[in-house]
Structure 1
Amino acid sequence: MAPANSSAAAQRVIGFIRRTQAPRQSPPPACPPVKKYKSLTEIMAKARYAVVERDDYSDVLCDQCGSGERPDELLLCDKCDKGFHMKCVRPIVVRVPIGSWLCPKCSGEKRVRSFSQKKIIDFFQIQKCADLKNKCSSTQDAKKRKRRTSLILHKKRRRLLPFIPADNPSRRLKQMGSLASALTALHMEFSDDLTYSPEMAPRSANHADFENGGMQVLSREDIETLEHCRAMGRRGECSPLMVVYDSCEGYTVEADGPIKDMTFIAEYTGDVDYIKNRENDDCDSLMTLLLATDPAKSLVICPDKRGNIARFINGINNHTQEGRKKQNCKCVRYNVNGECRVFLVATRDISKGERLYYDYNGYEHEYPTHHFV
């Protein structure tokens, strides 16, 4: 055992002598301290920023449609790090958000669910018929309208026609449910009337005499048609329309039954405000209500908080021939009992399943519509 121990001791001495006689070298550079993140969320956020700062977005896909196209419209959730197209999330994101953004799942927003029959009745405040007399009276009114329509055609005078609701009550509930879901997704309330408030524009500001050049007066027969359609709406007999969602156009409206030419589609409703207050508004559905001789008195309809199905009917690009071919409705402004009102009317026969389009500019050319479909 002694020689083995002596040999080991000799080896340690030789090693010490070599280390002391070797030339001194500068110590290796110290490694930068490793930053410890507080949580996994911070680590994911750091990784997300690294992805955002680079120019290659080819590996970012939309979690809804699975496509990586249109990278300028892709949003990255600050929590789950998933990508979403602005038009694929619910509700739709109109413009790129400033600062952090969370997808609907991470933000805790509830998904828009289908409405039950009771909820639809409450949502639209439908008035229930007390007995069969109301049904008989509505049938008699329809017959009178039909006779009056034949007289109008005989005289070759184009008058507004009332819409014909679906015969099946469950179908009407489905139509109203699609509208209720779309309004709820945009955090809007249903309103079939123009809304006035002191903060925006009072009702006294909506006077047809203020219109520059005057406004066409709605005839007595057409006013009766309008009131008849409003009465049907209060009973839950809605226009045969369905609100659907398209990945390109967003919410849009399809005919859920045949609609004849000159049929009343809907009145454009919402909050009434002065145009001067909405010059920088980013709402894409502002509608001219009054073009006054004094620009300070001009009014617009703003369906961003309240509105009806007219809010979802798409405008077409009136600068292209392809856009004109799609047009099957028109937007008209009338003097109704001294007030300005805006109506959407069919300009030709519309078949079931056909989408509704109207010329957003009309004859006024107040809005840039070159980006419309």
Structure 2
Amino acid sequence: MAPPSCQRLIRFGASRRRRTSAPFRPESPPAKKFKPLAEVMARAEYAVADGGDYGGSRCEQCGSGEKADELLLCDKCDRGFHLNCLRPIVARVPIGCWLCPSCSGHRRRVRTSFSQKKIIDFFRIQKCTNSVKDKCPSPQDARKRRRRSGSLVMQKKRRRLLPFISSEDRAQRLKQMGSLASALTTLKMEFSDDLTYVPGMAPKSANQSDFEDGGMQVLSKEDAETLEQCRAMCRRGECPPLIVVFDSCEGFTVEADGPIKDMTFIAEYTGDVDYIKNREQDDCDGMMTLLLATNPTKSLVICPDKRGNIARFINGINNHTMDGKKKQNCKCVRYSVNGECRVFLVATRDVAKGERLYYDYNGYEHEYPTEHFV
């Protein structure tokens, strides 16, 4: 028998414990909430598998597999659509990812109504104070062309720009501005009646008409006065008689909401100014040439993808048909104004109320595809 000092003593009473509270347990993390699969798929980036066989692809609209070079394949569902079968018509094959109308997940919703206050704030309209009311001509005054004294020497008559005549009815002008605000809002654009220079793009110092290859015509003093008169009217809310209308085939279009005379100033083409070299892989369909420099790296374009005005929505003619060329009723002209390049849209003939405005997108460079235009 082992000595007492080596014996293991067992105390039966020691195992009895009185529980006064529940043992502490760390709080479990909240249950994770997962997004619906449809939302995850909508936000996921699409990858196009190489080596796929698309030889048998057909257009979902017309059912034809011809003109494969004009057949767009959706990067999500792989269904095909011809450029001219889409609504609105797509002018050229997009550079980046493209989704068909069904897979894009959203439909273009055009806002139809704006309050008077919203329109005034949207266009930053300036009210005429009592001290300057006498200096604010009415729309009727624009009809009166100032008579200038001329010499008796026979010379070729130069065609001068005419100021537009805004609608006399204020409610009609609000409707016109409301249609433009609706179109700009639909495209998530801001209104701007000036060229804008954004950090990271071309600076204002790059816009010099002296860089133009072959030179640029200078805006005369009389035409410069007409330009300033039109800009002043726009700041007061006396806009040109134009209204923006959405067409299922052509997209946004511009119609004359009143008669417009030949050589009338319609609008200046505005937007962000950038170098052409920075926009070679850009899908924006509204870029306008601003400067064609002797040094191609200094050439500039106007990009109305974030900021612009009604000039953004004036459509182009079809250069491949005679009927398309007959539609042209305005032109795009570039001028040197105080040493800077500017782009204006001017009427080339009398335009009746209700007539849509068209000009030649390829007036300077034949690079814009217009064969699918109506």
TM-score by length of 2: 0.71
* Aligned counterpart, 1:365: 366
* Aligned counterpart, 2:165: 164
* Aligned counterpart, 1:139: 137
Larger RCO, structure (CA 8 Å, separation 6 or more)? 2
How much has 1:113 moved relative to structure 2? 4.2
Structure 1 residues 236 and 359, CA gap change in structure 2 (3 angstroms): same
* Aligned counterpart, 1:103: 105
**One-letter code aligned to 2:221:** R
* Aligned counterpart, 2:272: 271
Paired residue secondary structure (1:148): coil
* Aligned counterpart, 2:122: 123
Alignment: residue pair count:
303
Structure 1 residues 217 and 189, CA gap change in structure 2 (3 angstroms): same
Paired residue secondary structure (2:355): coil
Structure 1 residues 294 and 137, CA gap change in structure 2 (3 angstroms): same
**One-letter code aligned to 2:87:** K
Q: For the residues of structure 2 that align with 1:300 and 1:76, how far apart are their CA atoms?
A: 30
Residues 75 and 86, structure 1, Cα contact 8 Å, conserved in 2: no
Q: Which has the larger helix fraction?
A: 1
* Aligned counterpart, 1:315: 316
Alignment of 1:170-319 (within 5 A): 170-319=171-320
Q: For the residues of structure 1 that align with 2:138 and 2:176, how far apart are their CA atoms?
A: 25
**One-letter code aligned to 2:223:** D
Structure 1 residues 269 and 111, CA gap change in structure 2 (3 angstroms): closer
Per-residue CA distance 1:61-96 (angstroms, 9 max, x = gap): xxxxxxx66897898999xxxxxx96379xxxx967
**One-letter code aligned to 1:262:** M
* Aligned counterpart, 1:350: 351
**One-letter code aligned to 2:359:** Y
**One-letter code aligned to 1:172:** R
Q: Which shifted more, 114-123 or 311-320?
A: 311-320
Residues 265 and 344, structure 1, Cα contact 8 Å, conserved in 2: yes
Residues 77 and 103, structure 1, Cα contact 8 Å, conserved in 2: no
Residues 77 and 102, structure 1, Cα contact 8 Å, conserved in 2: no
**One-letter code aligned to 1:126:** I
Structure 1 residues 129 and 74, CA gap change in structure 2 (3 angstroms): farther
* Aligned counterpart, 2:51: none
* Aligned counterpart, 1:148: 146
* Aligned counterpart, 1:20: none
Residues 74 and 86, structure 1, Cα contact 8 Å, conserved in 2: no
Q: For the residues of structure 1 that align with 2:297 and 2:221, how far apart are their CA atoms?
A: 31
Percent identity, please: 69
Residues 127 and 236, structure 1, Cα contact 8 Å, conserved in 2: yes
* Aligned counterpart, 1:26: none
Structure 1 residues 171 and 194, CA gap change in structure 2 (3 angstroms): same
How much has 1:367 moved relative to structure 2? 3.0
* Aligned counterpart, 2:82: none
Structure 1 residues 104 and 324, CA gap change in structure 2 (3 angstroms): same
Residues 212 and 293, structure 1, Cα contact 8 Å, conserved in 2: yes
Per-residue CA distance 1:278-326 (angstroms, 9 max, x = gap): 1121111110000000000000001111100000000112343212100
Structure 1 residues 103 and 74, CA gap change in structure 2 (3 angstroms): farther
* Aligned counterpart, 2:113: 114
Per-residue CA distance 1:96-139 (angstroms, 9 max, x = gap): 7359935337xxx97624111110000000011223x6454333
Residues 201 and 274, structure 1, Cα contact 8 Å, conserved in 2: yes
Structure 1 residues 111 and 210, CA gap change in structure 2 (3 angstroms): closer
**One-letter code aligned to 2:335:** Y
Q: For the residues of structure 2 that align with 1:303 and 1:206, how far apart are their CA atoms?
A: 17
Structure 1 residues 284 and 191, CA gap change in structure 2 (3 angstroms): same
Residues 243 and 254, structure 1, Cα contact 8 Å, conserved in 2: yes
Paired residue secondary structure (1:172): helix
Paired residue secondary structure (1:227): helix
Per-residue CA distance 1:347-373 (angstroms, 9 max, x = gap): 000000000000111143243333333
Structure 1 residues 340 and 40, CA gap change in structure 2 (3 angstroms): closer
Q: For the residues of structure 2 that align with 1:323 and 1:151, how far apart are their CA atoms?
A: 41
Root-mean-square deviation (CA, aligned residues, Å) is: 3.6
Q: For the residues of structure 2 that align with 1:343 and 1:209, how far apart are their CA atoms?
A: 18
Per-residue CA distance 1:319-352 (angstroms, 9 max, x = gap): 4321210000000000000000000000000000
